Amino acid sequence: MLRLGRREFDTHEPVIMAIVNRTPDSFYDQGATFRDEPALDRVEHAIAEGAAIIDIGGVKAGPGEHVDAAEEARRTVGFVAEVRRRHPDVVISVDTWRHEVGEAVCEAGADLLNDAWGGVDPKLAEVAARYDVGLVCTHAGEVEPRTRPHRIAYDDVMEDILRVTVGLAERAAALGVRRDAIMIDPGHDFGKNTRHSLEATRRLDEMTATGWPVLVSLSNKDFVGETLDKPVKERLLGTLATTAVSAWLGAQVYRVHEVAETLQILDMVRSIQGHRPPAVARRGLA
């Protein structure tokens, strides 16, 4: 069971986390949701399509213009409060590695802190415990936030992923974060080359075997683009293929740009697995 905000999710229930970037330089949407109204429209649309979690980010993941904690908070805190006012039941996540920002967004109504940089600020987990919110524990190869890996290598990439993410999850639980509000994330692209991300996907069942709910952030990432030699706007099919494999291997939460398409993939995989009946079953019965 995964409990976030007012929501409870059963073990085999897939959960879609829709991305809302409050940045002018997002790699995918190029700032389309930087202003309030387009961002709020994006939230409405994502919820209507089936997203249970809205993940709000105030800093581009990759290199770019410097954004300090005050500016990150300015981009996210008021927006979190407005989403909370409009959608009391949706799970609000904030993608941040800074404890100062984490505290501010929790005060505004966030339910989940998505730490994509692998515990680089250890106080963030303390904030999650203090505010009784969830935490995503990610493997990022110990690289500095907003930097790209350079000639990074692992003796065994999944062994390192498990060591880091389970360690972060156990530390968070020891600090008082509810165990049913903690997720682990292999961190595709973060501190990894394309072969590392492919191997992490292939061996994802080793993460799900830990018992911690697994979140995957696959949407239109560079490892998909390099694998298929496709630019950002042509990576949907590769993303969905990776999503299907991840679902089969037991991932539960999916951080995505395309909600409706992802939901169809997850429904199909669940039906093949026997966890979901067909929506319609007329064939051969008439």
Q: Give me the active site residues, please.
A: 221, 255
Neighbours of 27 (CB within 10 A): 15
**Neighbouring C-beta atoms of residue 107, cutoff 10 Å:** 12
Sign of CA dihedral 218, 131, 10, 52: negative
Return the SS3 of 8: strand
Beta-carbon contacts of 127 under 8 Å, excluding residues fewer than 6 positions away, are 99, 102, 103, 106, 113
Do 77 and 58 form a contact (C-beta atoms < 8 A)? Answer: no
The candidate with the shortest Cα–Cα distance to 120, out of 187, 194, 213, 218, is 187
Quick check: 101 and 110 in contact, CB under 8 A? no
Long-range pairs for 38-47 at CB < 8 Å and ≥24 separation?
A: 39/79, 40/82, 40/83, 40/86, 42/18, 43/18, 43/83, 43/86, 43/87, 43/90, 45/259, 46/18, 46/20, 46/259, 47/18, 47/87, 47/90
- Indicate the residue type of 154: Y
What is the H or E stretch that residue 56 is in? strand 53-57
- Token pair for residue 173? 């639980």
Q: How far apart are CA 261 and CA 256, in angstroms?
A: 10
Residue 59 C-alpha from the chain's centroid: 15
